[in-house]
Amino acid sequence: MPRDRYGREINYLRLSLIDHCNLRCIYCMPLRGLTFIPSEELLSADELETVARAAASVGFHKVRLTGGEPTLRSDLLEIVDRLHRVDGITDLGMTTNAILLPDFAAPLRAAGLSRMNIHLDTLDPQRLKRVMRFGSFEHIWAGIEAAEAAGFAPIKLNAVVVRDYNEHDVVELARLTIDRDWHVRFIELMPLGGGECAGLSLSQYVPNPETRERIETQLGPLGELPNGNPSDEAKNFRLHGAKGVVGFISPVSEPYCGGCNRMRLTADGKFHLCLLNDDELDVKVALRNGGGERAVAKILLQAVAQKPTGHRLEQGFSTQRRAMFQIGG
């Protein structure tokens, strides 16, 4: 198992497949001025499999597919099938906005995808349109139902809380866990990439203690659940008598950098060492110059060795070169 210079076990690889998305969430993607990676510069299915095999060879066992929106990759099912077959990868998940899941959920399950996280910021169709700008609540909800019908369990819903947009909707999202064995997790805004999205993250930030208080005021106390995984970014709770779980992911108010086990690979082939830092190591050049698993594994271990101790938001530093959709979350 690879360890970084701070003794953390790094065993979780997040692979961004694409920087395109069929939504334009206000905190992630501006409406104008976007430049996307040309398709020929995205890592191919072959290259992604090589990266996954290299990662498994040095002790990584968990992989998550991200974007952009990963379901926009035309070869997504092939990618899932290939990664599912890599010896040593025991957990293959994906984060999605669910819009295309009515068509994809069952085939993804059959191809070997084991877990699904779905992005949903509110249950109110009008406010959802204001936050996500494209898409509709009906399409996303149909995708959630398709994922559940395909056997993905537990369903995990991620909601980013934005002041003056959806901070009051957290109660109804949390209420979903009373009758459903779902995980609903509330995520704090993070300033990424400069520009309008990062500016909004600073001006409309809602700390998770405030979100928790709003939920408990309406629904009663949240009982904290034991968690034996120090790398879990979420603190998990349960409402009294509820079937599901309410989680809080608090990178700003309660950083979890000390337990970080993640390495990210951008869609254009850079190991991004920390979500909130700009440091990267290029692996695509090695892949396209004939480097195989051994060459990739060497670069990956270099990336692990160079991981920073954590973000420096409290000092006013965050990533400036890439927004969330360009990193992969």
pLDDT on residue 180: 98
pTM score: 0.94
**Closest Cα to residue 253, out of 196, 211, 281?**
211
Is 2 a domain residue?
no
- Distance, in Å, from the CA atom of 115 to the CA atom of 295, rounded to the nearest integer, reads 29
Q: State whether residue 159 is helix, strand or coil.
A: strand
List, in sequence order, every residue forming a beta bridge with 248; answer none if it has no partner.
186, 235
Please give the mean pLDDT across all residues of the chain. Answer: 91
Is 5 a domain residue?
no
Percent of the chain topping pLDDT 70: 91
Which residue range forms the structural domain that includes residue 66?
12-327
CATH number at residue 102: 3.20.20.70
Q: State whether residue 61 is helix, strand or coil.
A: coil
- Distance, in Å, from the CA atom of 197 to the CA atom of 70, rounded to the nearest integer, reads 21
* Contact in structure between 103 and 73 (CB atoms under 8 Å): no
181: pLDDT confidence band, cut at 50, 70 and 90?
very high
User: Tell me: the pLDDT tens digits for 134-177?
Assistant: 989 999 999 999 999 999 999 999 999 999 999 999 999 999 99
pLDDT on residue 313: 61
231: pLDDT confidence band, cut at 50, 70 and 90?
confident
pLDDT on residue 102: 98
Residue 154: is the preceding peptide bond cis (ω within 30°)?
Answer: yes
Is 233 a domain residue?
yes
pLDDT on residue 288: 96
**Closest Cα to residue 252, out of 211, 307, 305?**
211
- Distance, in Å, from the CA atom of 149 to the CA atom of 141, rounded to the nearest integer, reads 12
Is 171 a domain residue?
yes
Is 174 a domain residue?
yes
Neighbour count for residue 17 (Cβ, 10 Å): 25
Q: State whether residue 9 is helix, strand or coil.
A: strand
- Distance, in Å, from the CA atom of 30 to the CA atom of 17, rounded to the nearest integer, reads 20
Report the domain count for the chain: 1
* Contact in structure between 219 and 175 (CB atoms under 8 Å): yes
Average confidence (pLDDT) over 233-253: 95
* Contact in structure between 326 and 289 (CB atoms under 8 Å): no
Mark out the alpha helices in the chain (DSSP H runs).
45-57, 76-84, 101-111, 125-132, 137-149, 170-179, 195-203, 208-219, 284-288, 293-305, 324-327
Least confident of 22-36, 73-87, 103-117: 22-36
35: pLDDT confidence band, cut at 50, 70 and 90?
confident
Is 55 a domain residue?
yes
Instruction: Give the pair of three-digit tokens for residue 52.
Output: 């996954």
Q: What is the dihedral of CA 218, 219, 220, 223, to 10 degrees?
A: -130
Residue 135: is the preceding peptide bond cis (ω within 30°)?
Answer: no
pLDDT on residue 196: 64
Is 114 a domain residue?
yes
Is 307 a domain residue?
yes
Average confidence (pLDDT) over 71-76: 98
Higher pLDDT, 46 or 33: 46
Higher pLDDT, 318 or 214: 214
Does 329 score more than 90 pLDDT? no
List, in sequence order, every residue forming a beta bridge with 3; answer none if it has no partner.
9
pLDDT on residue 227: 85
